[in-house]
Amino acid sequence: MREQQWTAAQRAAWRENWLSSIAEFADLELQRKTWLDPESDNPHWSFVEFMCCYFNDLNLTAGYGWVVDRALVTSEEVAAVRKMHAALDACKPPGGDEYDHARILDDPAWLGVVETAKEARSNLTKVLADPGEKRVLAGCSGPSSAGSTAPWR
């Protein structure tokens, strides 16, 4: 089977989605604002979709090996997010209910995940060279984010 060759545009898009995902995990206020909004009809703004975007859409269920092999991230970047990745991988919503957002957002385990995402964001900020990527990692303003190429915004 032939390995996929990534164009510069594909690599940039993958990295933007990856950095956006990390920024969203690190932003408890964004989660509270969007996950608990009864008027929201955008499925992205949920625990399930945050997890799906990170693990499935970015194809990180088996870890970062393939991404490093294809030069989408560096080993230094992987080291910066290792703790967050492990915390997300181990994360189970309280009572097993992935749609009880209020309970998830009040769960000490989830708050710990958010803290590891903040650490990952801080660690990555130190190793990223591209100012545009640093802006993406700094975070978005939620559903009204303008100018992003991420598919859910």
User: Is the pLDDT reported for residue 100 higher than 80?
Assistant: yes
Using one digit for the tens of pLDDT, what is the confidence trace for 107-139?
999 999 999 999 999 999 999 999 999 999 998
Domain that holds residue 21: 10-138
109 in any annotated domain: yes
pLDDT band at 90 (very low <50, low <70, confident <90, very high): very high
Q: Rounded to an integer, what distance in angstroms lies between the CA atom of residue 4 and that of residue 24?
A: 28
> What is the pTM assigned to this prediction?
0.89
Mean pLDDT of all residues in the chain? 91
114 in any annotated domain: yes
98 in any annotated domain: yes
- Closest by Cα among 44, 23, 26 to 34: 44
How many domains is the chain built from?
A: 1
152 in any annotated domain: no
85 in any annotated domain: yes
123 in any annotated domain: yes
46 in any annotated domain: yes
The whole-number pLDDT of residue 142 equals 55
Handedness of CA 117, 122, 123, 129 (dihedral sign): positive
1 in any annotated domain: no
Using one digit for the tens of pLDDT, what is the confidence trace for 135-151?
999 986 555 443 344 44
